[in-house]
Amino acid sequence: MSAGGHRGDNVRVYTVTLKSTGRRFDVAAGETVLEAAQRAGIALPYSCRAGVCGSCKATLLAGRCEYPRNPPLALDADERAHHAVLLCQAVPASDLLLAAREVPSVADIARRRLSVRVAEKRLLAPDVTGLHLLPAVGEPRLQWLPGQYLDVLLDEQRRRPFSIANGPQADGTIELHVRHVAGGGFTSRVADGLAVGDTLRIEGPLGTFVAREDSERPMLFVAGGTGIAPVKAIVEHFLELGTRRAMEVYWGVRHAADLYLLPQIERWQRQARQLRFHAVLSESSAADRWRRGLVHEAVLADHPDLSGHDVYMSGPPAMIDIARHRFVAAGLPEERLYYDSFDYAPDVLAQIIASRAGIHP
């Protein structure tokens, strides 16, 4: 394994080799491994692209990389000691040999930008707005796999990621569940200003949180809040396939009013007797009929041994971080844990902090 890389047009280039397939691709100076892989048409797992969720974790078998953008917050001390790296932030400082999973189904779908119009808007929960988007006149339909997400483009520098809550439709309808965040300019616009007929600019599809069909193991779906959106898309995909695999959906929210998909979930249960649903409320009242607690703890209470399952998980970074460690400790092979996580964009986080501190620009 070379330590020096090579030069092309006076730009230092390092080569990454994937151990499982032997595929190789070049990484330019300052480019992350994930960016270079996507440029080469190689689909490696990822989600948040900020170093906080761990979806893009791989094992560095040889070589050296650095983290000039963001620290690898999703890696704990034990993972770093075992040479784990985060591909969305890792910039090679030499040629690399990696043990990383590929997601070939995603590689065949090109990412593109298009304009969409708001065809429907409705309140799903006290702080969640549902949007149905259609391609603007003259725009072709977006292609994606159930579970992927898109970015709403605010300008050249700012974008907001949202999971797509449905699979591809004949008319091109894209369903989004947008939670209103205090201090979040775009989500406030969605809640209070965006109207039917308005247009948005989007880019997609993005992400590798997609259905894996090459298994007969029972599936557990674990969602936190609006993390139910991509879970909905994947569950409906398996139902359309007519799967006979056992499926359990765990949805963690704060209050019963946040369970905005109950009618849809009841239809799933009528369609597939092997599907079971568990709602878990972190702030329930005595009158609530649902379980109280944290959603990952409910999963472990029901399934202390996860070695025989496939697990799909989507939600906020804090939930993903603790749950993935607990699930692996319960015997789940990490390669059978598929998850999707988003964090606030840096400019939104600054606005949220200012709002909570009573600071006004």
Question: According to the model, what pLDDT value does residue 1 have?
Answer: 46
Cα end-to-end span (Å), the chain: 52
Q: Which of 61-70, 133-142, 144-153, 280-289 is least confident?
A: 280-289
For residue range 84-143, list pLDDT tens digits in order.
Answer: 999 999 999 999 999 998 887 787 788 999 999 999 999 999 999 999 999 999 999 999
pLDDT of 349 above 50: no
Name the token pair of 82.
Answer: 């075992």
pLDDT digits (tens, 9 = 90+) for 209-236: 999 998 999 999 999 999 999 999 999 9
Report the residue count for the chain: 361
Query: pLDDT at position 9, please?
Result: 54
Torsion over CA: 328, 333, 338, 343 (sign): positive
Q: Domain 110-206: which CATH class?
A: mainly beta
Q: What is the pLDDT of residue 360?
A: 43
Residues 6+ positions from 282 with CB-CB distance below 8 Å:
252, 253, 254, 292, 293, 294
CB-side neighbour CA atoms (13 Å) of 268: 24
Q: Where are the domains of the chain?
A: 12-102, 110-206, 219-341
At 241 the pLDDT is: 94
Q: Are 140 and 201 contacting, i.e. CB atoms less than 8 angstroms apart?
A: no
User: Selecting from 3.30.950.10, 3.20.20.70, 3.40.50.150, 3.10.20.30, what CATH number does the domain 12-102 have?
Assistant: 3.10.20.30
241: left (phi over 0), alpha (psi -120 to 50) or beta: alpha
Answer yes or no: are the C-beta atoms of 210 and 235 closer than 8 Å: no
Q: Would you say residue 359 has pLDDT above 80?
A: no
Shared fold status for 12-102 and 110-206: no
Is pTM, for the whole model, over 0.85? no
Query: Rounded mean pLDDT of 231-255?
Result: 96
Report the alpha-carbon distance of residue 221 to residue 208 in Å, rounded.
16
Q: Where in the chain does DSSP place strands (E)?
A: 6-8, 11-18, 24-28, 57-62, 65-66, 84-86, 91-92, 96-99, 112-125, 128-135, 149-153, 159-163, 174-179, 199-206, 219-224, 247-253, 275-281, 291-292, 310-315, 337-341
Q: What percent of the chain clears pLDDT 90, i.e. is strictly above it?
A: 69
Model confidence at 352, in pLDDT bands (50, 70, 90)? very low
Give me 339's structure tokens. 């998850």
User: Which range has the worst mean pLDDT, 40-49, 75-84, 229-238, 290-299?
Assistant: 40-49
pLDDT confidence bin for 355, thresholds 50/70/90: low
φ and ψ of 299, to 5 deg: -60, -45
**Residue 285: predicted pLDDT:** 75
Among 255, 231, 252, CA closest to 319: 252
Contact (Cβ atoms closer than 8 angstroms) between residue 141 and residue 109: no
Task: Give the whole-angstrom CA distance, residue 306 versus residue 258.
Answer: 28
Q: What's the pLDDT score for residue 8?
A: 52
Q: Which CATH class is domain 219-341?
A: alpha beta
CB 1 within 8 A of CB 97: yes
Asked if 142 contacts 135 with a C-beta cutoff of 8 angstroms, the reply is yes
Bigger pLDDT: 198 vs 346: 198
Least trusted range by pLDDT, from 93-107, 239-253, 288-302, 306-320:
93-107
